[in-house]
Amino acid sequence: MSMYSTTLNVSPEAEDCVRRSPTFASLDAKQRSRVATRIRPRSFSSGVILFHQDMPGNKILYMIDSGWVRIFSIGQTGQELTHSILGSGDILGEVAALNNCNHPATALTLTQTVLWLLPGPDLEELMKNYSEL
């Protein structure tokens, strides 16, 4: 194969993560492969805060490959309110990534967690190219 080949180098794990995500369900196989070329894996230990409530958005869409992430906010009196527990196939960080705003909640890993990260500029480009998103 030529080093100038246009063949996309996509890992089977990235393809599987995109295929399992409801966010990308409306895309065909070729489009999902294109998304899979843009994502990168990261592994986090239990107890890691991915982002804090009211923290400026980092323009990253997180897709959970394995593990569990708790999404919660802190009320005015200091109490924690759990919004959801997310697992394999779920996404998070989309509000800040798409709206260029602060995160509305905090994300905390509950277990060893593997995430696939899609930078906001790549997400914006994919959304321009694929109106189904």
Q: Which of 89, 52, 50, 84 is nearest to 67 (CA)?
A: 89
Q: Sorting pLDDT into bands at 50, 70 and 90, what band is 6? A: very low
What is d(CA 62, CA 97) in angstroms, rounded to the nearest whole number?
A: 10
Which residue did the predictor score with more confidence, 82 or 27?
Answer: 82
pLDDT given for residue 46 in this prediction: 96
pTM > 0.75: yes or no: yes
Per-residue pLDDT reduced to its tens digit, 79-124: 999 999 999 889 998 887 777 788 899 999 999 999 999 987 888 8
What pLDDT, on the 0 to 100 scale, is given for residue 24? 84
Q: In what order do the strands lie in the sheet with 40-44?
A: 40-44, 113-119, 60-66, 91-92
